[in-house]
Chains A and B, each alone.
Chain A
Amino acid sequence: MPAPIRLRELIRTIRTARTQAEEREMIQKECAAIRSSFREEDNTYRCRNVAKLLYMHMLGYPAHFGQLECLKLIASQKFTDKRIGYLGAMLLLDERQDVHLLMTNCIKNDLNHSTQYVQGLALCTLGCMGSSEMCRDLAGEVEKLLKTSNSYLRKKAALCAVHVIRKVPELMEMFLPATKNLLSEKNHGVLHTSVVLLTEMCERSPDMLLHFRKVWILVPQLVRILKNLIMSGYSPEHDVSGISDPFLQVRILRLLRILGRSDDDSSEAMNDILAQVATNTETSKNVGNAILYETVLTIMDIKSESGLRVLAINILGRFLLNNDKNIRYVALTSLLKTVQTDHNAVQRHRSTIVDCLKDLDVSIKRRAMELSFALVNGNNIRGMMKELLYFLDSCDPEFKADCASGVFLAAEKYAPSKRWHIDTIMRVLTTAGSYVRDDSVPNLIQLITNSVEMHAYTVQRLYKALLDDISQQPLVQVSSWCIGEYGDLLVSGQCEEEEPIQVTEDEVLDVLEGLLVSNLSTPVTRGYSLTAIMKLSTRFSSVNRIKKVVSIYGSSIDVELQQRAVEYNALFKKYDHMRPALLERMPIMEKTASNGPTEIVQTNGETEPSVPDTKHPPLVTQPANQANDLLDLLGGNDVVPVIQTTLPTKPASAGGELLDLLGDLSLSSGPAPAPSVPISQPPFLLDGLSSQPLFNDISAAIPPMTAYSKNGLKIEFTFERANPNPNIAVITIHATNTTEADMTEFVFQAAVPKTFQLQLLSPSSNIVPALNQGSVTQVIRVLNPQKQQLRMRVKLTYTHKGSPIQDLAEVNNFPPQSWQ
């Protein structure tokens, strides 16, 4: 059998292969040759063969059939054999194969070998891949070698011990005595590895940590070593660019960090040396900066005095100005961690941080952005926002969503004026509109609604933005909502903040209709614009045009749109008298975390049945300045407080225009008819927001009552206390019909005296079936904070046997428990 080819030969041959297939062929051929050579148990060439196998393994080919051969090599007496054998073991074997245990004995022998290089090989292999069992068996040998005078071996043994401790932590203690001596070594390598060993022990065991702190008093010893390192002159062996043994310095600093963490005494003991390192280290090269960086990390982590901390942050600030982007990156990362605790110190470097927004590296930009947002406060908001908006314009898409959200948050917290706030939002919407998160739209709408004096300005700017670009959906959605709400301000040119534009109703409607038909609009956007058009029917005079649009979409294939159009149509046809009330201006909304401006049907004394609601921010009524039909029908009525007392457009005397519903009834302590009773609105209206009727639990405490019974229509009230607010009575009405004909288009309305507040939820239906075959239920919630006697006037309308019927009645027989 010819001698197997040499390693060099093989490598050369394989490199000549031109395709993957060719290479694979060569490899397979060689593997076959090697396999037969192994079978022959040839000692001479085993080493060569295994070496070749390892090379092929590095190329990615399977080589497990060589594992046992590696073991045989390890057992050989020749150094070259051992060396390849151990290498093979490290590359091909791992602790999951039982085969590796066979090595244990060999390693044990080699650890005691006469040649240090063999011992070194054994230590190295054990330290890289020794399993827990091997470590347990051989720990004693390693410990012995820790105490040898041979520094070459001590270094290896120290790191091998680290590995042993990682695998079998319980063995930590046995290395303690030997470790103690290591620190008094002059040899840098030994020092280095012993510091690593100590670090490992400290990190693994809090008890050890305490032991080192208190018993060994490690900190002064380390401080001394570090000092010597810095002070001693040129030491060529471990010098890197003029700094003596930076690697050791870094490791010592790291160990100091662990020792000083949450311990005042230790921290104090290292204050001086840290300051010294921080000020004296050369910063012209990466080496020096590496040491400085470790120093900064240590200072920030221990209980250092404030002067030192400021020093550390200033170092980071200087890093930010460094040409080397690695250093800038590292600084930004650290600053991000400290910005919460050392806010003021970091603020001083704000402008440098902001400059980093323009960096080319993506990860630097991201950190600079996060840091910038963390630094925004009331004082620097204007300047910072300018920079951040500029960043938003030019940054990569992956940043835009986060940046936009960050801008919104910061603007909300620190906006110097409403106008500025609106402008900033506009800017974000127009530049990064398509990246804005979906949940921003309702938040923005709420913000705009609440900035009452800016309505005209806002709608004008949004309108102009729409003219430019209808592709960014969030922008379009917010704009169409605003136009729907404030379109009247737009055409009447009421804007004070800037030059009012001349816009006609038709132009506005053109734009909104354009959105409906455009391919760029999503279904959600179309929904917004349809509703906006509808709202304009009470604000514009071109009602016919709007009617036409709405009826066209009644047959749209988009179900959502169709439903809206159909309902709006119904509004025009059957409920036209309610349309103005329904489409009135939105009130200021309470900011709630989970609720947007939705699903709240607010009523004031007079009610309207809530038309089956759409998902769109609904149409809410307010007692408007205009005479409300409902109020007329109820024959004049009471003031029940307007929701917010702060609305300037709703004069507090709104109540005064309305006539007393229950004026002829004596009110025990009628408050003066005037500004709203300041009832805090949120708890009342935000309780139980679902529009489904609460269930009709007949509270045992409160008996039900018949409120009305006439012409076959009977209405019964059942009661329940609403938790948690005991001032709210929840009444469920049940309407039944004993006649033989259904009562269709049944509408129940109610009004209460001034001191009460009423909320009516949707009815279950508006047909009361004949012959008691079913009932209509509806929930009323009455807030009665003054605990006055509950009284109600009700109005019923329905169609019976083709003719419309309407009736008024008073309900006075509320059981006392319902209002006490």
Chain B
Amino acid sequence: MHIRLHTLNQSIRFILIQNRAGKTRLAKWYMQFDDDEKQKLIEEVHAVVTVRDAKHTNFVEFRNFKIIYRRYAGLYFCICVDVTDNNLAYLEGIHNFVEVLNEYFHNVCELDLVFNFYKVYTVVDEMFLAGEIRETSQTKVLKQLLMLQSLE
């Protein structure tokens, strides 16, 4: 069977949550990077995203990918995707994710994400997998999260 080996990778390369000062609150990688590369990427994303303001679009060309980002209070939620992906759809994806966080932590704030960082990863893993969106129903995700919490 003829198979094309090279081409495509997943849509999502990584998901980052950073605050304005550059502190990482979540870094989920769906591609292999060294620790130094990861650090460099984090810094680059921070640099690119924090200079933009309301008059800019929510999309930035970044290396040979693109970043869809949105700012919520002091936090930047960034998803790095393939250039062929639908920008508007991923913007919705980010918002979906943030709404779940909001519901789960009852009006989430940055400190919630700091003290419960491992739970935030759980939320990510419920909604995304292998660099793709997995579950989009907020009710379903919340149900799962509560179940998981009860196991602790």
Q: Which residues of A contact B (CB under 8 A)?
A: 7-8, 11, 15, 51, 54-55, 58-60, 62, 79-80, 83-84, 87, 90, 94-96, 117, 123-124, 127-128, 152, 155-156, 159-160, 162-163, 166, 169-170, 172-173, 188-189, 192-193, 196, 200, 203-208, 236-238, 240, 245-248, 250, 254, 286-287, 289-290, 293-294, 297, 325-330, 360-364
Contact = CB atoms under 8 A, between A and B. Distances in A.
24 contacts: A7-B115, A83-B118, A94-B32, A117-B147, A117-B148, A124-B129, A163-B10, A166-B10, A192-B133, A203-B8, A204-B3, A240-B96, A247-B93, A247-B133, A247-B136, A286-B91, A290-B91, A325-B55, A329-B59, A360-B55, A361-B55, A361-B57, A362-B56, A364-B57
- Interface centre among B10, B56, B57, B96, by most chain A C-beta atoms within 10 angstroms, is B57
Interface string B101-140: 0000000000000110110011001000111111111011
Interface residues of B, number: 55
**Does more than half of chain B's interface fall in helix, strand or loop, or is it mixed?**
mixed
B140 A237 contact: yes
Contacts of B122: 83
A139 to B, nearest CB: 14
Nearest to B11: A196
A54 B116 CA distance: 12
A172 B88 contact: no
Contact of A204 (B4, B39, B134): B4
Interface of B: 1-5, 7-10, 23-27, 30, 32, 35, 39, 55-59, 61, 86-89, 91-93, 96, 114-115, 117-118, 121-122, 125, 129-137, 139-140, 144, 147-148, 151-152
- Interface centre among B3, B39, B61, B151, by most chain A C-beta atoms within 10 angstroms, is B3
B136 A206 contact: no
A5 to B, nearest CB: 14
A345 to B, nearest CB: 22
A80 B118 CA distance: 11
B89 A206 contact: no
Given A83-B122, A204-B3, A326-B58, A237 B137 contact: yes
- Interface centre among B58, B88, B135, by most chain A C-beta atoms within 10 angstroms, is B88
B134 A326 contact: no
Contact of B3 (A87, A90, A205, A289): A205
Contacts of A360: 55-56
Nearest to A164: B130
A159 B88 contact: no
Contact of B86 (A84, A206, A297): A297
Given A160-B129, A160-B130, A204-B8, A326 B88 contact: yes
Contacts of B91: 286, 290, 326
B151 A128 contact: no
B86 A155 contact: no
B152 A79 contact: yes
A236 B139 CA distance: 9
A189 B2 contact: no
A11 to B, nearest CB: 6
A11 B115 contact: yes
B130 A205 contact: no
Given A79-B151, A80-B152, A162-B132, A11 B32 contact: no
Given A159-B132, A293-B88, A58 B27 contact: yes
Given A83-B122, A237-B139, A289 B88 contact: yes
